[in-house]
Amino acid sequence: MPNAYENLANKSNRDKPTDKNKPRLDSRYLLAVPVILLLCFGLGVQYTTYITGLQPNTAQAVNIIAAKDFTAEIAEGDMVIMLSGELARKGYYVISADTTLRDLLDFAGLKSDSDISDFNMAHTPQHGDQYHVKSKANPLDIEPWLTNNLQPENCIEPADELININTATMQELQQLPNIGEVRAQAIIDYRMKHNGFRHKEEILGVEGIGQKLYEQLINQITV
């Protein structure tokens, strides 16, 4: 017959947790951990790529240095340009020969109202170039996007005088950019049918003239 000590020992052994009673981690969770880590890594790579794509080429921007004016001393192959208008950075800058117009605009810092619709992005910057960015909020700004007093052949000259679309002849209308005989006749037909243009924006109602063409005409026409 077991004594009291044996009863206590047996009870203690029964109370000890066995391997069967020990909690175990589900193997599915073990498989999920590396999957979650891979997903986090992939998202991190995508986010980094996204942010990098939004930022300007800072390596190129290093080659753009502030200058006093066009008479600044520069290394062979470098050039001085000027930035003005609706930009975060204005003034004179020294750039390297491989700097593109896109590099300049990225460096200059375009604003929400910056209007570069007139810019010819295929243009290669030249020494003496003066780039002017208009404001969408100021339609009276008719300054050309590019002038160059040092190399006049590179200058984009503004129109000598505005063309009145209510009184211009067929030949005068064809002096406007991308206005040929057909569009000129369409303008004349429209103004006769509607008793003239009250606002120059009405030219958008003329067949063959859309928003892009209107942006080329807006600073060269009047009513």
| pLDDT at position 146 over 50 | yes
Query: Where do runs of H (alpha helix) occur along 58-132?
Result: 58-61, 101-108
The pLDDT confidence band at residue 124, using thresholds 50, 70 and 90, is: confident
d(CA 47, CA 44): 5
pLDDT value of residue 56 = 43
Phi, psi dihedrals of residue 19, rounded to the nearest 5° = -60, -30
Distance in angstroms (rounded) separating the CA atoms of residues 91 and 72? 13
d(CA 200, CA 3): 114
Report angle CA 27, 33, 39 to the nearest 5 degrees: 140
Domain segments of the chain: what residues? 27-55, 60-154, 163-222
Query: Per-residue pLDDT tens for 2-46?
Result: 555 555 555 555 555 555 555 555 566 556 666 677 777 766 655
- Enter the CATH code of domain 163-222: 1.10.150.320
Q: Which pLDDT band, with edges at 50, 70 and 90, does 107 fall under?
A: very high
Q: Which of 19-33, 87-101, 115-129, 133-147 has the highest mean pLDDT?
A: 87-101
**Is residue 1 a contact partner of residue 7, using CB atoms and an 8 Å limit?**
no
| 58 three-class SS | helix
**In angstroms, how far is the first alpha carbon of the chain from the final one?**
122
Taking the C-alpha atoms of residue 131 and residue 143, their distance in angstroms, rounded to an integer, is: 10
Tell if the pTM clears 0.75, that is, is over it. no
CB atoms within 10 A of CB 93: 21
At 92 the pLDDT is 93
Instruction: Report residue 55: phi and psi, to 5°.
Output: -90, 145
Residue 18 has what pLDDT? 55
